[in-house]
Structure 1
């Protein structure tokens, strides 16, 4: 097989990765016909006519320019420009107009960049399918498939578009999206004149190929398909929950603006004419209100999650959408499979228990598929070859019937015709297989003791048996229909990965339950659980699931079928758990779709599993999953810190505005000052946490805000205190300098707000470590340069001649500036001093 993180190609007729190969298809791939397919020009014309095969990727599909421009912020700023012109403040009006145009253009560019990032993220996670173009079998991304394309699919793949069958071999399809019934539906080639959908001669987009292979001609894509499943951008919980606080802040700003207008009206003199009213009442009140116009918080959240997703993609995980990053930070439970996740997937035969080694080995070989895909069968054949058995000669005999592995009976086998004799060889779970064998009770007890001994060592045990059938005997439809002769036990060992115990411990410390699910028996599962650190938790078998309503103490589920694994996930979610599932096979698709976060591994995942999951790991090491959880929680904390910083800034501005207006200082506030603080300074200060990983190695607990909508009380209180302390610093300095001119007060308020936001940002960089410790390490916090630029920009606007007058500032005395800096530091840097005092060093 050929695997790639953005496209998966599976084999047909033992040929791998047929990309760009000029072929006579009927000769090489055993197709019934040669197919030329569409030419490149024909495909491009169809794409232009019918559009992309994924509506969520249509250009401009999720971006609305009008909504981006005509926002509350734009309308208020435009109104301020008009009022400034009417009040004959032409310089300020011109500056305000330029700021409005620049901010609106910047907002449009920002929106387009965010949309581009989201589109790139989706394209990166797109699937490629085999299609015939220009007479070649090549790989085409799902969204670029068009009507009349010839596609080739097989077991484990999800159908990318509606298509009419041209060839099919043993084809069955899961069409539960139509009927709700997940039973495989047989498909055939031919004509079907009925109008009902689904037709037996067609396959439909988003259905799953359960068995067989096919060649089909696409007849519908995108919105023209029978099942329209248009994927929209997943809105994060932060974006959803932000709407209410944004409304509260906006309403608060309106109330404070009205109070400011009232204070100004009471204290104002000589209000004859429009200009005095605008200058002394309307503009100060409007400016105060503009301080509380939403500061692009929703776009900031999207930026954080998109940047975090891109960073995770560069490291170890392909995150398909930003909502996954958020949900991953809130998970409380991870369900993993023993095979593939816990074990190394390197199975070997550790021991055999039999009275006739040669005959046992031959029966073992004959119970395997001649072209084995399962690691256990590969191990059995390899062990037989090393033992001197001529495996090739044994498997060259005529196979009359094949019995694939059955999840219910947990057995598989083959019916062979060897030297005129019919021999049915089987292998499977000892519990099921031994029940079909003719064994003396005493011998059975001894066999069970041996099986139990193997299981307690964490080994998978297979029982091997055979039945000799006469030429006249009817071929059994099921393996359970006849009796067998017992041959022995094979103990298979699949060592656990060295990193799994550490990863489990890391998850537990972070408050994430690890649940292992396996088809092995209870003893073997418990033994593996002890090896990886789940020994303190209960083990429940699949049959016991209906009688185990309380899953809090359960850490291992043994002897579970795919349907029972799905039930486990459903029960956990009903209990309020936020569940992540690691799965790779076709049987895991329902699990991946049911879980809050579906995780697959690119190394051994089926195409449908890759398409169904939310996150695709490039490393099959479970430790990488644990690291992804920690990284997502760091991103979540960065978002919290950014929003907390904006909230503290709004709180400080609200308190200061009320005090200033009540003491006759409303002239401090101008529309230019409000725009610079709320639309430039707040977002710039809040963006300093992008890329912050100062607490990446800490043991974060899961987010109760994402899982239950509960705000972290201690963090919220800290934000209120920090914002309140900044308000105290600004108000105290203002009251001590009442004799200053409004322009100088304006400069000091602007400077103290900038410095205060920087200092509050320092306090929010890490929970336990000081900012200065993080900065000294030159890693973890990446916002040092941004804070320097923010401070420098504030000083430039205050001190550069002409520029400061254009913004309505006045250059203060250096000593006054230093005093303001010291006052701000005393009131806002105390959390950093507390961290230093509480540090173990």
Structure 2
């Protein structure tokens, strides 16, 4: 990866020893502060900006002004006081949604040491400017992005930016007369990364939001700009509801004028209905839930890079998974030692260790060293390293009295040819090699001989060896893979292992993890081959065939997740519905294309991410079902009662109160619901939909039933009086009927919340408790009730509200049952 260097910021700064002068510092103040994460002042200014865009705030201020102009100061003051809890709720929600972004500041330098006017000074990191020369010591974070112009043995932790667990070596950028136009990534250091070892001198090039870390913070704050399928569906729903609400408001205003209520009443009726019917909760809830999904997946070591992945991960029906490093650990271990006559398992291992180079990075040698300690012998006299042509490695050691011990290890067929084995023994050892290979093992052989020579031989001996036995290595399964695959099968998720391994090796691993019920169907990939719909393993696969497999599965209606870590996996990752790469082994190209990065390269992590995605979608369904079940009776009653010629059922202060109950319930109660530990069977395939047709009918019918109960309770409380607004507007019976209707609606909201959430979270219990407390407080306390144009209810009234709540709870249970199918 290469990055462009802004040469206009570096004129005269070619020397790795020259910092900025005071004059240059003044000239560069125009670049602004190195504010990578917004400070507290900007945080609260942003909150104020968001609050000012809240239509509820302007509704309160506008209606308070209207009542003030009409001379009703008490009502105006009440509405102004209602702004306080609204602002408090906005501040709390704002704090919750930005908690993860604020946590990013902990990975940033607070101060920096820079050279200015020939002196090394410690300044606030916010004061660092492009062109500054910064000194960074081990354990410190880099204060900004720039190129390394001096230093030694630099080892940097870049996991914050890349997700890679392993530290990265950095190199000094050689600068002669001028800086180059571009520099490789090994010469760059970035804000938010930490120097682990060595000394580094950084020429700062980018600060603040121009840094790579700043881009991450901005993405976390703003989210993806690409509209996902569900976002498009929500946008269509909101647009429809807005037009319906506008039409209803105009109709209501016109009818109130015709009924003779006057312009003020008509305006107040229309504005109140508009706020009650405004569907702003739907996009807000969806955006909030996406943020929760990203956070929860990150907790399970699945780093989400695109918002669409949060939607699609829960709808995955097929996983095309790599074998090495995902299903298996990605490292070899010595699993079997089969010694020849005259040797035992311990002596066989000791022989193999004598042909190991302790400094080598060969995985077989590493596995041998992990299985036993290399013998404490004098340095070997000669070593003939492994090559693909010879396919063995040989070491020669002094064996006393002028003799030499020769030890060799390598491919079994190669060593068989060096040993004196009769036909029967040779056939037996070959059968054993085939058995190990069929079990997914990598097999080597060991042999030895003694040389009675005066001097160490200059060439590698090629005959006369005594066969010592076989060593079998395996790449063990990751912990929990069998259980994860079984969970996928139970949930109806198909798992296909795609590997370049030999079919026998692939079959052995697939059988061990339970693919195909223990009898996997293996397909050897060939050019132009057809893809059966029941294949469990694709062996000898190349990248082009992996892409063909993904497209074939998608053509069958599968929602496909693909794991990959190399550049050759990029086409399949790009074509998949959810592309998933590995944080530990994944290449930069794969990470750029993939929607999700698994930080621990574990198949179990992928399955847990699917479980979180499915729970997120279920939670979103519950939240939307709640919004609809509560808003249908609210909007319907707010429209029908005034149309019937009665006084307004809900005054502005009542709408404020109800929205302060509905808004946090939809946002906080249902997103708190955690997975129950099971994936569950996906009810539907194909395009994402919030509700099935039966669920839609249940919601609409349930909302209509609650509306009828609410209107019935209101009518009964009117005690049969005529609907003449001019007479009854301030009558106690109207206040009683209004109190009755609001009590029914609030109790219904609480029982719907309880039934949909099953009170599984502390937040659900807290919201229901606070909602009930507010109802009792505002209705039963005469002073507060009078201020809100309500009056205390009798025991019989509460019995009616309780029965209405019971009905609403049963409707909620009905809808919940349909959503869980």
Equivalent position of 1:268 in the other structure? 260
C-alpha contact (below 8 Å) 2:747/2:802 kept by paired residues: yes
Could you tell me which runs of 5 or more consecutive residues in structure 1 were left unpaired when the two chains were aligned: 1-34, 39-44, 135-140, 172-176, 178-184, 270-275, 404-408, 474-484, 766-770
Distance change >3 Å, CA 189–CA 819, structure 1 → 2: closer
Equivalent position of 1:526 in the other structure? 507
Q: 1:94 pairs with 45, 70, 77, which one?
A: 77
Distance change >3 Å, CA 717–CA 670, structure 1 → 2: same
Distance change >3 Å, CA 819–CA 412, structure 1 → 2: farther
Provide the rounded CA distance (Å) in 2 between the counterparts of 1:438 and 1:414.
15
Equivalent position of 1:747 in the other structure? 739
Provide the rounded CA distance (Å) in 1 between the counterparts of 2:397 and 2:521.
48
Aligned residue for 1:802, secondary structure, equals helix
Q: Work out whether 1:805 is the aligned partner of 2:771.
A: no
Aligned residue for 1:88, secondary structure, equals coil
Q: 2:665 pairs with 684, 691, 698, which one?
A: 684
Deviation digits for residues 184-232 of structure 1 (CA, Å, limit 9, x no counterpart): x99886346576543469724699x9xxx99764323456679996661
Deviation digits for residues 538-584 of structure 1 (CA, Å, limit 9, x no counterpart): 4345xx26534647534334455789878877887898765556678
Q: Shift of the alpha carbon at 1:111?
A: 2.1
Aligned residue for 2:782, secondary structure, equals coil
Distance change >3 Å, CA 661–CA 695, structure 1 → 2: farther
Distance change >3 Å, CA 436–CA 578, structure 1 → 2: farther
Distance change >3 Å, CA 186–CA 109, structure 1 → 2: closer
TM-score relative to the length of structure 1: 0.68
Equivalent position of 1:756 in the other structure? 748
Aligned residue for 1:829, secondary structure, equals helix
C-alpha contact (below 8 Å) 1:540/1:556 kept by paired residues: yes
Aligned residue for 1:783, secondary structure, equals helix
C-alpha contact (below 8 Å) 2:36/2:213 kept by paired residues: no
Equivalent position of 2:8 in the other structure? none
Equivalent position of 1:371 in the other structure? 359
Equivalent position of 1:256 in the other structure? 248
Provide the rounded CA distance (Å) in 2 between the counterparts of 1:77 and 1:463.
84
Equivalent position of 2:643 in the other structure? 662
If you compute each CA radius of gyration, which structure gives the higher value, 1 or 2? 2
C-alpha contact (below 8 Å) 1:725/1:828 kept by paired residues: no
Aligned residue for 1:667, secondary structure, equals coil
Q: Work out whether 1:163 is the aligned partner of 2:147.
A: yes
Distance change >3 Å, CA 412–CA 201, structure 1 → 2: farther
C-alpha contact (below 8 Å) 1:460/1:493 kept by paired residues: yes
Q: 2:315 pairs with 310, 330, 333, which one?
A: 330
- Alignment root-mean-square deviation, CA: 6.2
C-alpha contact (below 8 Å) 2:715/2:737 kept by paired residues: no
C-alpha contact (below 8 Å) 2:717/2:736 kept by paired residues: no
Mapping for residues 198-237 of structure 1, pairs under 5 Å: 198-199=182-183, 203-204=187-188, 217-219=201-203, 220-222=205-207, 232-233=219-220, 234-235=223-224, 237=228
Provide the rounded CA distance (Å) in 1 between the counterparts of 2:545 and 2:32.
42
C-alpha contact (below 8 Å) 2:751/2:808 kept by paired residues: no
Q: 2:263 pairs with 277, 284, 288, which one?
A: 277
Distance change >3 Å, CA 285–CA 586, structure 1 → 2: closer
Aligned residue for 2:277, secondary structure, equals coil
Equivalent position of 2:276 in the other structure? 291
C-alpha contact (below 8 Å) 1:73/1:293 kept by paired residues: no
Deviation digits for residues 72-95 of structure 1 (CA, Å, limit 9, x no counterpart): 333333322222223333222221
C-alpha contact (below 8 Å) 1:398/1:417 kept by paired residues: yes
C-alpha contact (below 8 Å) 1:261/1:282 kept by paired residues: yes
Provide the rounded CA distance (Å) in 1 between the counterparts of 2:762 and 2:41.
36
Q: 1:350 pairs with 312, 324, 336, which one?
A: 336
Distance change >3 Å, CA 547–CA 36, structure 1 → 2: farther
Equivalent position of 2:706 in the other structure? 726
C-alpha contact (below 8 Å) 2:756/2:816 kept by paired residues: no
C-alpha contact (below 8 Å) 2:521/2:537 kept by paired residues: yes
C-alpha contact (below 8 Å) 2:695/2:815 kept by paired residues: no
Distance change >3 Å, CA 383–CA 808, structure 1 → 2: closer
Distance change >3 Å, CA 712–CA 283, structure 1 → 2: same
Equivalent position of 1:482 in the other structure? none
Deviation digits for residues 720-767 of structure 1 (CA, Å, limit 9, x no counterpart): 3332222222233334445363322322222121122223233423xx
Q: Work out whether 1:115 is the aligned partner of 2:103.
A: no
Mapping for residues 144-155 of structure 1, pairs under 5 Å: 148-149=133-134
Provide the rounded CA distance (Å) in 2 between the counterparts of 1:114 and 1:339.
38
Aligned residue for 2:664, secondary structure, equals helix
Provide the rounded CA distance (Å) in 1 between the counterparts of 2:202 and 2:654.
60
Mapping for residues 79-90 of structure 1, pairs under 5 Å: 79-90=62-73
C-alpha contact (below 8 Å) 1:37/1:150 kept by paired residues: no
Distance change >3 Å, CA 112–CA 623, structure 1 → 2: closer
The range that moved more, 84-93 or 564-573, is: 564-573
Q: Work out whether 1:794 is the aligned partner of 2:775.
A: yes
Aligned residue for 1:812, secondary structure, equals coil
Distance change >3 Å, CA 648–CA 579, structure 1 → 2: same
Deviation digits for residues 589-647 of structure 1 (CA, Å, limit 9, x no counterpart): 9999997364758xx77998999898787988754553443234223312221122112
Q: Shift of the alpha carbon at 1:350?
A: 0.9
C-alpha contact (below 8 Å) 1:162/1:204 kept by paired residues: yes
Q: 2:442 pairs with 454, 460, 467, which one?
A: 460
Mapping for residues 28-47 of structure 1, pairs under 5 Å: none
Provide the rounded CA distance (Å) in 2 between the counterparts of 1:391 and 1:698.
51
Aligned residue for 1:164, secondary structure, equals strand
Equivalent position of 1:504 in the other structure? 485
Q: 1:649 pairs with 618, 622, 630, which one?
A: 630
C-alpha contact (below 8 Å) 2:303/2:596 kept by paired residues: yes
Distance change >3 Å, CA 104–CA 691, structure 1 → 2: closer
TM-score relative to the length of structure 2: 0.69
Q: Shift of the alpha carbon at 1:438?
A: 14
Q: Shift of the alpha carbon at 1:69?
A: 1.1
